[in-house]
Amino acid sequence: MNRINQKLQETKKILSIYFSAGYPSLNDTVKIIEDLEKNGVDMIEIGLPFSDPLADGPTIQASSTQALHNGMTTQVLFDQLKDIRKTVSIPLVIMGYFNPMLQYGVENFCKKCAEIGIDGLIIPDLPVDVYAEEFKAIFEKYGLINVFLITPQTSDERIHFIDSVSNGFIYMVSSASVTGSSAGFGSTQEDYFKRIANMNLKNPQVIGFGINNKETFNQATQFAKGAIIGSAFITNLTNNGVESIREFVKAIR
């Protein structure tokens, strides 16, 4: 069974952390992953930096740009992660845009992910219908879960279609804005969380965008299986360095 599905079967709420590979320094990637697992994080999203990250707010964009300047590429990331399963056992997901994957070759990319122990992909600019028609068979061949995003504006019909195509979890964007732009949740977002919870989808939901502390983590996980923290973690890395990971995670949990 895929590690993501195993993790989703656990009774506790899932804390997933996102960071940009190759940031703050090119060779920090593996240490960050190992330290996150050591300190109780349940799942990690490894951002593959891209020059035109449409869904990302300024914090993640800046870290992605710096990582590219540091020399991060798809191949460098794969080289860094080649032995990651010797030290890390939690689910690892690569989050990135489709262009670098197309350039690498979709099947080659998926094959490499499977070889090094990546469990899933999140590709914000790959439409679910295109995935279902053209790429689903390749992802399944290599045992990779593809995670799709929904927003408050996504229609019920499309959500049900995404649910039917998915076999892991659904990434529930807390608002229609970019990452890092929210500070807590209001009644509109809570109504959205409740609406999705009441749809009884077969795939659990994990909420992202706007989760930045213990309060917002607890608020989000009232309505979903887990929550993802990205911008707040990257800000912490920027201000306090890789050595501060333990304190950051402890403050959430």
Which residues participate in catalysis according to the annotation?
45, 56
Which residues have C-beta within 8 Å of that of residue 99, sequence separation ≥ 6?
A: 50, 52, 125
Distance CA 92, CA 114 (A): 11
Distance CA 250, CA 201 (A): 31
Distance CA 207, CA 193 (A): 9
The DSSP H or E segment spanning 44 is strand 43-47
Distance CA 223, CA 44 (A): 21
Q: Is 173 helix (H, G, I), strand (E, B) or coil?
A: strand
Query: What b/e readout covers 154-181, taking b as 16+ CB neighbours within 10 angstroms?
Result: beeeebebbbeebbbbbbbbbbeebbbe
Q: How far is CA 203 from the centre of its chain?
A: 16
Query: 82: exposed, middle or buried (C-beta count within 10 Å: 0-12, 13-18, 19+)?
Result: middle
Query: 113: exposed, middle or buried (C-beta count within 10 Å: 0-12, 13-18, 19+)?
Result: buried
Peptide bond into 24 cis (omega under 30): yes
